[in-house]
Structure 1
Amino acid sequence: MIPGVPGDSQAYLNGEFLRLQDAKISVLDRGFIFGDGVYEVVPVYEGHPFRMAEHLARLERSLAAIRIESPFDRAGWHGVVQGLIDRSLTASCVVYLQVTRGVAKRDHGFPTERVAPTVFGMTSPFTRPGADVREQGVSLVSIPDERWLHCDIKSVSLLGNVLAKQRAADQGADEVVQFRDGMLSEGATCNVWVAAGGKLLAPPKNHLVLEGIRYGLMAELAAEAGIPFEMRPITRDEVENADELMVSSATREILPALKLDGRPVGAGRAGPVYGRLRQGYDARIAALLGKPGSASM
């Protein structure tokens, strides 16, 4: 048995759906040996994947960046994802997909012979952030960004993010906000957003940040709410003196960050920019499910 995982949890591995505890890979898989692979995480609401096209597009970009040919076309990926959703223990879940370069002799260079990629998928239960989490927000601590220079690739090599996340935990915080050369990059597991003077600010989409799927969504929501949006370098001073800070990810959706390094952010409570974006986000989920919009979902 896998600790904390129900014994009947299902997975996908190289063309077969099977129990998660029965899924096995070779110790020579390059994902295990080198972290030579990429992954994607798709949130699913009551059986409906959210922004699936954008998630698959990012998976394809990550695969191309590390020179792995995609094992499936879009229809094939949809089949894998739907198969996992159909076998999920909960209607609302997170689908995790991972592709590695496959099994080969341990050598830093790419295998010279043709090797089939290893394709793995699984689901985890997903509960949307409740009213208490939305009101209390998250706490952040600031740290230098010491990761590699290809953060735009959603790589399974996540040691830098793991160590960053643990630094937050060590200080009793929920997440880090990272700075590289005095400029905002992102959190360990999320994108970070700044509201100042009624504007929504985001760091540039480049090799220093992972372009979260909510990047495009937040720009859309800001436009719908009439909030000016700027994507540009953001200084540490701007972050420390922001009216509002927010974090976004597949499982957090969008949440206010109300503490930074132990001090209140802005007024110390969820602000108006967050409120308007939150309302728009909830409306998108409601539309996905064919329900009337509701800010209290």
Structure 2
Amino acid sequence: MSRIVYVNGEYLPEEEAKVSVFDRGFLFADGVYEVTTVLGGKLVDFAGHAKRLWRSMGELEMTPPCTEEELLAIHRELIARNGLEEGMIYLQVTRGAADRDFAFPPEGTAPTLVLFHQEKVIAESPAAEKGIRVISIPDARWGRRDIKTVQLLYPSMGKMMAKKAGVDDAWMVEEGMVTEGTSNNAYIVKGGVIVTRQLGTEILHGITRAAVLRFAREAQMTVEERPFTVQEAQAADEAFITSASAFVMPVVEIDGARLGTGTPGPVATRLREIYIEEMRKAAV
């Protein structure tokens, strides 16, 4: 059976779902998005994702397509119609459809809202048992990475660079410092101290990142928010990434250098356990 997706007020079989060829998301990547995890048929940290979505739209002077309450109802309806137990809900908002012009469309142009789901095993991910390997690549993205836009060409290229290198992902580097992964925030652990880049326009303000750092501090773990180099990462005891689709995922190799024993470290493993436990309880 095909998926039921949401397009501008309608729930449709995916084969029937369409948007205009003049949609600015298609023509200019003029859109923002969010991905919310579903565990046990419930949404993980929906409020955090909604808050970031509204911030992204505000930074781009984009009109929200609905209220937060309406968006939550759409998510829940999509979960119910598709019988989704575990996976992700992807949503995308664009500035709408208008004749091609670099200037924004006329005031009153309706934004486009699209949602669909993907089934995925996340909580019991096999990758978390062995960890992932990453390479470093130059960070060639635009400067406003704190806005979650659909401009994902370079991260996509980074994923392919990693694939061609026979590893799982890539960490991007700017002025000698790691910014983040292609679709995740990056961390290292040395002497029990968790190090991750501070918030700014250089990285996405991860919703999972915020929760994990909060749980780490509540567990009396030491956190330092600052940049780090690839060389510092290679000398670390362990490393990990966080994202809505991976939760806390151990990193066991960076540019061919094995970290620690080459297996998931205790800090990443414990944080993953805490995150899953707490988010199952808080899911809506």
Identify the residue that residue 177 of structure 1 maps to in structure 2.
Answer: 171
Identity of aligned residues (%): 36
RMSD: 1.6
Superposition deviation, residue 113 in structure 1: 4.2
| d(CA) in 2 for partners of 1:265, 1:109 | 49
| d(CA) in 2 for partners of 1:101, 1:286 | 34
Match of 2:211 among 193, 199, 217: 217
- The answer on 1:121 being equivalent to 2:121 is no
Superposition deviation, residue 220 in structure 1: 1.4
- The answer on 1:53 being equivalent to 2:41 is no
Task: Give the total of aligned pairs.
Answer: 284
SS at match of 1:172: coil
Identify the residue that residue 194 of structure 1 maps to in structure 2.
Answer: 188
- Per-residue displacement from partner, 1:149-173 (whole Å, max 9, x unpaired)? 0111111111111111110011011
Amino acid at match of 1:141: I
Identify the residue that residue 235 of structure 2 maps to in structure 1.
Answer: 241
Structure 1 runs not aligned, ≥5 long: 1-6, 291-297
Superposition deviation, residue 142 in structure 1: 0.8
- The answer on 1:102 being equivalent to 2:102 is no
- The answer on 1:10 being equivalent to 2:4 is yes
| d(CA) in 2 for partners of 1:204, 1:258 | 22
SS at match of 1:220: helix
| d(CA) in 2 for partners of 1:278, 1:93 | 17
Identify the residue that residue 4 of structure 1 maps to in structure 2.
Answer: none
| d(CA) in 1 for partners of 2:156, 2:229 | 24
Identify the residue that residue 272 of structure 1 maps to in structure 2.
Answer: 266
- Per-residue displacement from partner, 1:86-106 (whole Å, max 9, x unpaired)? 112432221111000011110
| d(CA) in 2 for partners of 1:170, 1:186 | 20
Does the Cα contact within 8 Å between 1:225 and 1:277 map onto a contact in 2? no
Does the Cα contact within 8 Å between 2:39 and 2:85 map onto a contact in 1? yes
Match of 1:24 among 18, 29, 41: 18
Structure 2 runs not aligned, ≥5 long: none
Does the Cα contact within 8 Å between 2:3 and 2:13 map onto a contact in 1? yes
Does the Cα contact within 8 Å between 2:44 and 2:283 map onto a contact in 1? no
TM-score by length of 1: 0.91
SS at match of 1:186: strand
- The answer on 1:65 being equivalent to 2:65 is no
Superposition deviation, residue 129 in structure 1: 4.8
**1:289/1:78 CA distance change after superposition, 3 Å:** closer
1:200-211 alignment runs, 5 A limit? 200-211=194-205
| d(CA) in 1 for partners of 2:229, 2:150 | 29
Identify the residue that residue 38 of structure 1 maps to in structure 2.
Answer: 32
Identify the residue that residue 253 of structure 1 maps to in structure 2.
Answer: 247
| d(CA) in 2 for partners of 1:287, 1:184 | 33
Q: Which moved more, 1:148-157 or 1:273-282?
A: 273-282
Q: Which moved more, 1:279-288 or 1:77-86?
A: 279-288
Does the Cα contact within 8 Å between 1:140 and 1:176 map onto a contact in 2? yes
Amino acid at match of 2:70: G
Superposition deviation, residue 131 in structure 1: 6.2
Superposition deviation, residue 22 in structure 1: 0.6
- Per-residue displacement from partner, 1:56-107 (whole Å, max 9, x unpaired)? 0011111111110212221111111111111124322211110000111101
| d(CA) in 2 for partners of 1:126, 1:45 | 10
- Report which structure shows greater RCO (CA 8 Å, sep ≥6): 2
| d(CA) in 1 for partners of 2:122, 2:230 | 30
Superposition deviation, residue 8 in structure 1: 2.3
| d(CA) in 2 for partners of 1:109, 1:279 | 48
| d(CA) in 2 for partners of 1:254, 1:40 | 18
TM superposition outliers: structure 1 runs of 4+ over 6 Å: none
